[in-house]
Structure 1
Amino acid sequence: MSHVNKSAHPFDKGRLEALLSRRFFYAPAFEIYGGVAGLYDYGPSGSTLQANIIAEWRKHFIVEESMLELDTTIMTPAPVFETSGHVARFADWMVKDVKTGDVIRADHLVKNVLEARLAGDKEARGQAAAPAKEDEKDKKKKKSKTAKAAAVQLADDVAKSYEVTLAQLDNFSGAELGELCRKFNIRNPDTDNEVTEPQEFNLMFASSIGPTGQHPGYLRPETAQGHFLNFSRLLDYNNGRVPFASAQIGRSFRNEISPRAGLLRVREFTMAEIEHFVDPQNKSHPRFKEMRDVVLVLLDRHVQSSGNTTLIKMSIGEAVEKGIIANETLAYFMARIYLFLLKIGINPDRLRFRQHMSNEMAHYATDCWDAEIQNSTGWTECVGCADRAAYDLTVHSARTGHPLVVREALKEPIVTEKEVPEFNKKALGKTFKQDAGVLQKHVESLDEAALSKLKSELAEGSTTIIIDGKTFEIAPDLLRVERKTFKQSIREYTPNVIEPSFGLGRILYTLLEHTYWSREQDVERGVLSLPPVVAPTKVLIVPLSAKEEFDPLVQEVSSKLRRAGIFSRVDDSNTSIGKRYARNDELGTPYGVTIDFASVQNRTMTIRERDTMDQRIGSIDEVIAIVTDLVEGNIDWTEACQRLPAYDGVQAIES
């Protein structure tokens, strides 16, 4: 399905937002109480759209990849997030207006101000090249636009420094963001007041468990920890075999500093996360060959660090070979993420994968790529794909004493020889008393070369060992070093984790922007070109009128569509058929069927396609079969037109 209609009116965000509000896709929560920033309620169409995205996500990932699905708790005891590092590190940098006290996220402030100045520079340069003569209407229009955009031409070196800073922005620390505010004289754009030095703000919502508050807790900021804490059970469920993946869809909470971008930055949201557990010595993927030729648009860390945003197109096979993407499994999921986003309607020309730079990398990650989708606010991270290594399982195992490991029976036992220290513990204790344990621990920590040297020295008599400046004389009767043979039949290791993490609200909103347009002849009423797979309503059933003689056919068509698993709605209101179709184009309904007098007499029915407004006609059963194939993705509209003749508009003859 085309993402840009050639006869479409230019994108108008204000009209889209008016449509989404008027048709209740979503709205601010608690609106009649004044609302709370960053909290939204989804209406009928928004809820169904999200449910359809989730249903397709389940098919694309859980079913296709045979994943193990989880549903773990939202409320989480504090020790879990203390161990995972979230209590110490899950934070953003904020600044305050020195006069009003308004709080602003520091990196967003720098980004918005510098981008606004560059936009003003671009406009000012455009004005400088404008024709000398302008009529009064053009002058007034330009003057108001200039005032709004604060058009000021920048020196070339200043503009370049802004561009370099924006390319590197995600890599700056709090102190560096503060330095940027001073260097570029960045103020609160709403008040023109100075701002404070950046302060770290933890994004988790704190709470307590139990009536006395003796168990501090947090609302989870991600669903991932539920996977890690249940790893042993998941491994057992999977018959002890790795690799395998678990998946979860659920609510997460982040106490955003200043949520101002609708669904793109909220405090409560739905996430879909996958944790793919893999052998750290083998991060290949058995299905990588199927994806290796998928071409992605990449923005790697080295390009960004150099102050550039040049994109490259590259197959994931080549990216892995060149070491741009760390391993096959990470690249495989990036390709699968790309295909999923295209399937639900994201414009591939406005989709890229950006690699995290060193300073912005999460504390648990060794490599991470964000699927960023371009929208009216710029590029927005909608999916993260990270190699979390063994961090999470390791820290939780160390904290709890519960081994979160894989025990793998080896096909061929591994036979090794090594030097082993053997102590006469009774004599050692009598000789060195409280230092005996320290001495034993030190010797056991020596590597093979050091033990061999110690063995040679003991063969010649006593030797000395120095620990923290203290000298110990060791006689052969206290310690022997012998070479022993070991046979290993079991390999024990902590698996690594590859994690794709989806922000469904962000994906939903960018999808709405990508699919919204309006016809030149009806600018006020928009169209959402949602693919049938995610459209809230698949088919609109339109009786010519509300006359009772149409009721049996309406019921028959509704019933047959239901049995085919296709969600439909009936609109028998007294407005014109054209208006009924137009208001359902706003809801993204891809197909409409009309029941008229010819339907009653001949059992025929017309089908209309939303984007082209093309209409075809056939028997009721033929049309239902065509609609079923269209909705299930078996055919497209071009193929449907080959199976059904065009509707010439003369079948609806009133009796």
Structure 2
Amino acid sequence: MLVGRLTLVSAPRRQLPTYLTSLLYCVKRKLYSERTMSSVNKTAHAFDKTRFDALLNRRFFYAPAFEIYGGVAGLYDYGPPGSSLQANIIAEWRRHFIVEESMYELDTTIMTPAPVFEASGHVARFADWMVKDTGNGEVLRADHLVKNVLEARLEGDREARGQATQVVAAADDKKKKRNEVKSTAVKLEDAVIAEYDSILAQLDNYTGPELGGLMRTHAITNPASGNPVGEPQQFNLMFASSIGPTGQHPGFLRPETAQGHFLNFNRLLEFNNGRVPFASAQVGRSFRNEISPRAGLLRVREFNMAEIEHFVDPLDKSHPRFSEVADVELVLLDKYVQAAGQSTTRIMTVGAAVKEGVIANETLGYFVARIYAFLLKIGIDGKRLRFRQHMANEMAHYAADCWDAEIQNSVGGWTECVGCADRSAYDLSVHTAKTGIPLVVRQALKEPIVEEKAVAEWDKKSMGKTYKSEAGLVSAAVTALDEAGLMKLKDELAKGPTTIKAEGKEFTIEPGMLTIERKTFKTSVREFTPNVIEPSFGIGRILYCLLEHSFWSREQDVERGVLSLPAVVAPTKVLIVPLSARAEFDPLVKEVSLRLRKAGIHARVDDSTATIGKRYSRNDELGTPFGVTLDFASVQNRTMTLRERDTTDQRIGSIDDVIGTVIDLVQGSIEWAEACQRLPAYDGVQAVE
């Protein structure tokens, strides 16, 4: 797989021994600069997963948690660069959404009482389908097993046809080994290939029993052992717990942050002066007891989510800023294409997609476009990003429409990293029904609504005497009738006694017990349950895909990688490289470092004895976008060179000018091309004493 990057590169600058004279240093740097600037190449390298993983491990972006105890699958710790990268992604998410969209930020609890998730449907429905190896008891996720086996067979067909060779690896979590299962080079019939492609295109739409049928029909077994697997069974993904010393209050670790928004809806509504639309947002930990987490950060059991709940009038899902994104072009894979067994995408503007009903409404389309802009801004490759619509069986129990931002990567192929769903009024409605506390909007009408409707009035004395304890049941059955039903009941009562059914029982109603009349009502307040548009971000998945998309190697040094992270999310923004460890450099190093840090820019000093080239190279691995070098001329002339990571281009200027330029670059107010207009190219010559 190619990373899709063409980059201008030049050989790293060489560090001369610090004991050489300043003159010799400058002469040699000039000769080196003239040589390298005349040999700039355009290069593109194939993505090397082995080197990429080695870089992440060596530089401690993240690592398996509890590693010295043998580790636990699906749990990871972030190291210094990984923690900073994650924090910067979240900070930009806050700026992009909470600040720019004027949202209200929440921080709600992780531990949640069981009744909350019983009402929301998570206890009954938040599950995946799993199968067990009948020989060794290994547990596998059913849809992933079908996907991996069919893709391996298709790869074997391509190998047999001489088109490609690929090794499909399966990890043994207990022994921490990688057992290689090579796809068998067998040529498939064209009809079988078409069937496999069709299954893979709509895999997310299959139910558990249908997955079981696919495994039987296509003789799918556990590729690691060759053993058959049992029938798919549902496995609830929530971690169960209890609250209190005696465990009298069952609870769960939340699998999402959303319920905290809904339970606080009335307070949020009051905070927004009783009006919709408005949005609340939250970043926090969530927990899912994944069946077989074997894909690094793409499938974990504890992770950070960033979620938005945008509350909107169900009769008006327009968005005031929709015109700003209407012309944004997106790569879309809609549900109808998938249901037909295909995976052909099409490019549409957001405006056209909403107008044609491909995306359900303006607010949903607006947030899809905003998600797209955010992912591009932090460095996701737009050519490896698409939006896929959920199919009918795949749709979450609460959703009316849902689009996933899927990012292509070497581990999971097209992987869901952001979901954007229209949750309709489901959540607020079920919590209202469970608690009896209305989670609704009461909106004063400019013009009162006058309407005539049928009203049922009981003779309560006669009703209570006849139905006794079941009176409420009969009353509720009549109240549930619509206008036509009430008028039909009125006609029946005019002819004599009639009957009504409630919870499987039949009750007789006498004409004198119930009167149904049409009455005129004047309404000055409209009461409604708002709908919710929810963008939900998996921070860890985005972080991993960003690292993959940013990774490449220079032609001169393929063993060392480069992470071309945008400055907005890079863990360290600027590397400060003093040429010498001599005391005369200390004041300048402290000055530059302090000025950058006071400007809010994370700068790091590398005053090790390694050559300048090595110091820059190992910080290129960390994604540091800019480097400044203080040399002997800096001490005398207060000049400083500025290096850009991807091109290794070098500029020179006064310390004040370079710092000002770096601040503008990091803050995003200028691009490198403008920085090159401000600062002259470094030619290797500086005045020295």
Q: How far is 1:447 from its partner?
A: 3.3
Aligned to 1:73: 109
* Counterpart-to-counterpart distance in 2, 1:256 and 1:436: 48
Partner secondary structure for residue 490 of structure 1: strand
User: How big is the shift at 1:116?
Assistant: 1.1
User: By how many angstroms is 1:43 displaced?
Assistant: 0.4
Q: CA deviation at 1:422?
A: 3.0
Q: 1:10 to 1:456 in 2, by over 3 A?
A: closer
What percentage of aligned pairs have identical amino acids?
74
Query: How big is the shift at 1:197?
Result: 1.1
Distance change >3 Å, CA 480–CA 500, structure 1 → 2 = same
In the alignment, what sits opposite 1:523? Answer: 558
3-state secondary structure, aligned to 1:71: coil
Where do 5+ consecutive residues of structure 2 fail to align? Answer: 8-41, 166-179
Amino acid at match of 1:383: V
Name 1:421's counterpart in structure 2. 456
Structure 1 residues 426 and 551 mapped into 2: Cα distance closer, same or farther (>3 Å)? same
Contact 1:238 1:244 in 2 (8 A): yes
Alpha-carbon distance, 1:425 to partner: 2.9
Structure 1 residues 472 and 152: CA distance shift in structure 2, 3 A: closer
Of 273, 282, 302, 1:268 maps to: 302
Q: Distance in 2 between matches of 1:640 and 1:543?
A: 22
Q: Secondary structure at the match of 1:126?
A: coil
**Counterpart in 2 of 1:463?**
496
Corresponding residue number in structure 2 for 1:636? 671
User: Residue 403 of structure 1 corresponds to which residue in structure 2?
Assistant: 438
Say whether residues 1:559 and 2:585 are aligned partners.
no
Q: Quote the Cα distance in structure 2 between the aligned partners of 1:358 and 1:417.
A: 39
Alignment map for 1:13-162 (pairs within 5 Å) = 13-126=49-162, 148-162=182-196
The answer to whether the 8 Å contact 2:440/2:528 transfers is yes
Contact in 1 for aligned 2:181/2:223 (Cα 8 Å)? no
Counterpart among 47, 58, 68 of residue 11 in structure 1: 47
After superposition, give the CA deviation of every residue in 1:79-102 in whole Å (9 maximum; x if it has no partner).
Answer: 111111111111111111111111
1:184-223 CA distances to partner (integer Å, 9 max, x unpaired)? 1111111111111111111111111111111111111111
Match of 1:247 among 281, 290, 304: 281
Shift of 1:506: 0.3
* Gap change, CA 1:257 and 1:457, over 3 Å in 2: closer
1-structure distance, mates of 2:299, 2:470: 58
Q: 1:421 to 1:335 in 2, by over 3 A?
A: same
Q: Which residue of structure 1 lines up, in the alignment, with residue 603 of structure 2?
A: 568
The match for 1:138 is none
CA deviation digits over 1:483-516, x for unaligned, max 9?
A: 3221111111111111000000000000000000
Please, which moves more after superposition, 96-105 or 582-591?
Answer: 96-105
Matched with 1:136 is none
1:647 matched to which residue of 2? 682
Provide the C-alpha distance between the structure 1 equivalents of 2:443 and 2:510, rounded to a whole number of angstroms. Answer: 40
Counterpart secondary structure, 1:9: coil
CA distance in 2, matches of 1:471, 1:580: 87
Deviation at 1:463?
A: 2.5
Structure 1 counterpart of 2:202, from 160, 165, 168: 168
Match of 1:353 in 2: 387
For the residue of structure 2 that corresponds to 1:115, the secondary structure is helix
Q: How far 1:466 sits from its partner (Å)?
A: 2.2
- State the shift of 1:423 in Å: 3.2
Matched, 1:191 2:231: no
Residue deviations 1:290-344 (CA, integer Å, cap 9, x gap): 1111111000000000000000000111001111101111110000000000000
Unmatched 5+ stretches in structure 1: 130-145
Distance (Å, rounded) in 1 between the aligned partners of 2:602 and 2:414: 33
Superposed, which structure 2 residues align to 1:203-602 within 5 Å? Answer: 203-377=237-411, 378-429=413-464, 440-452=475-487, 463-468=496-501, 472=508, 474-475=510-511, 477-602=512-637
Structural RMSD (CA): 2.0
Deviates more, 1:481-490 or 1:304-313: 481-490
Structure 1 residues 470, 494: closer, same or farther in 2, change over 3 A? closer
- 8 Å CA contact 1:3–1:347 kept in 2: the answer is no
2:436 and 2:116 map into 1 onto residues whose CA distance is: 13
Q: Tell me: CA distance 1:554–1:441, structure 2 relative to 1, closer, same or farther (3 Å).
A: closer
Judged with a 3 Å threshold, the aligned counterparts in structure 2 of structure 1 residues 4 and 175 are, in CA distance, closer, same or farther, namely farther
Q: Distance in 1 between matches of 2:79 and 2:408?
A: 25
Please list the CA deviations of residues 522-553 of structure 1 after superposition, one character each: whole Å capped at 9, or x if unmatched.
Answer: 01000000000000000000000111111111
Say if 1:462 and 1:474, in contact at 8 Å, map to a contact too. Answer: no
Cα distance, 1:613–1:199 mapped onto 2, change above 3 Å:
same
SS in 1 for 2:497: strand
Output one character per residue of 1:11-49: Cα deviation in whole Å (capped at 9) or x when no partner.
101101000000000011111111111110000000000
Q: Tell me which amino acid in the other structure corresponds to 2:377.
A: K
CA, structure 1 residues 473+299, in 2 after alignment: closer, same or farther (shift >3 Å)? closer
Q: Which amino acid aligns with 1:73?
A: T
Q: Could you say which residue in structure 2 is the equivalent of 1:143?
A: none
- SS of equivalent to 1:317: helix
- Offset, 1:572: 0.7
